[in-house]
């Protein structure tokens, strides 16, 4: 397979078709080797618009959803980013190419180990990987951009405590089959605006109490 050509086609035929048109977002999705971030045995699906299972009940987002997340957040060159849910590290890599630094947290240490290797193999630096249950704690600093890569039944206002004024937060809220992607913008110390973006579905964010359900 000509992976470079397949990656270009993924962007042009799938991602762009979902109205992801920002040139920087399209460039990053074309440049970063997504095929290096998919689990062994799923390489043939690297450029398909389908979720790819990564274990523990979690999956890689579809390429179109990844594009829409990135476009909604619009990371800038000087931004600090918090990613909640590292997975294989692909979205971490995309965010890092667009922003100054990414802190990515995940409750599963094996995901973090895999992401570390994937990022290094792809030449991506300045990504801090932390083992953390984001349903209970968050890093002790503020961020310009927050991407929550799993769904929550209800919005957790704690996220606003680590979002800088003017910062943007992407999150999917609800229970299957009725989930809504939202963009939350912090307009002041205690004020924010919420924009409904689109309907979608994502696996739920895993907390420490549910962690054992996915040990396999």
Q: What is the pLDDT of residues 157-216, one digit of tens each?
A: 999 999 999 999 999 999 988 899 999 999 998 899 999 999 999 999 988 445 434 332
Q: What is the pTM of this model?
A: 0.94
Residue 211 in domain: no
Residue 46 in domain: yes
Residue 183 in domain: yes
Residue 89 in domain: yes
Q: What is the pLDDT of residues 117-174, one digit of tens each?
A: 999 999 999 999 999 999 999 999 999 999 999 999 999 999 999 999 999 999 999 9
Q: Which domain holds residue 188?
A: 3-205
Residue 212 in domain: no
Q: Residue 166: which of 182, 142, 147 has the closest Cα? A: 142
Q: What is the pLDDT of residues 16-39, one digit of tens each?
A: 999 999 999 999 999 999 999 999
Q: Residue 139: which of 165, 102, 185, 95 has the closest Cα? A: 102
Residue 157 in domain: yes
Residue 117, domain CATH? 3.40.50.150
Q: What integer is the mean pLDDT of 69-85?
A: 98
Neighbours of 155 (CB within 10 A): 16
Look at the chain and report how many structural domains it folds into.
1
Q: What are the DSSP calls for 38-89, one per residue? A: SPTT-GGGTTSSS-EEEETTEEEPPHHHHHHHHHHH---TT-EEEEE--TTS
Give residue 27's Cα distance to chain centre. Answer: 17
């Amino acid at each position: 397979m000509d992976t470079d050509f397949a990656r270009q086609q993924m962007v042009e035929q799938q991602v762009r078709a979902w109205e992801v048109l920002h040139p920087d977002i399209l460039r990053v999705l074309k440049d970063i080797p997504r095929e290096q971030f998919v689990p062994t045995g799923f390489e043939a699906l690297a450029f398909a618009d389908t979720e790819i299972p990564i274990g523990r009940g979690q999956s890689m987002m579809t390429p179109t959803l990844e594009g829409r997340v990135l476009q909604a957040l619009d990371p800038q060159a000087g931004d600090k980013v918090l990613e909640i849910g590292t997975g294989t590290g692909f979205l971490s890599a995309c965010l890092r190419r667009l922003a100054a630094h990414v802190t990515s947290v995940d409750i599963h240490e094996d995901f973090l180990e895999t992401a570390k290797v994937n990022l290094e193999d792809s030449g991506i630096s300045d990504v801090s990987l932390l083992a953390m249950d984001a349903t209970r704690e968050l890093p002790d600093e503020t961020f310009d951009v927050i991407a929550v890569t799993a769904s929550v039944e209800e919005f957790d206002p704690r996220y606003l405590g680590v979002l800088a004024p003017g910062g943007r937060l992407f999150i999917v809220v609800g229970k299957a089959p009725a989930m809504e992607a939202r963009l939350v913008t912090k307009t002041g110390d205690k004020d924010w605006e919420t924009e409904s973006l689109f309907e979608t579905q994502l696996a739920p964010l895993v907390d420490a109490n549910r962690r054992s359900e996915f040990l396999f």
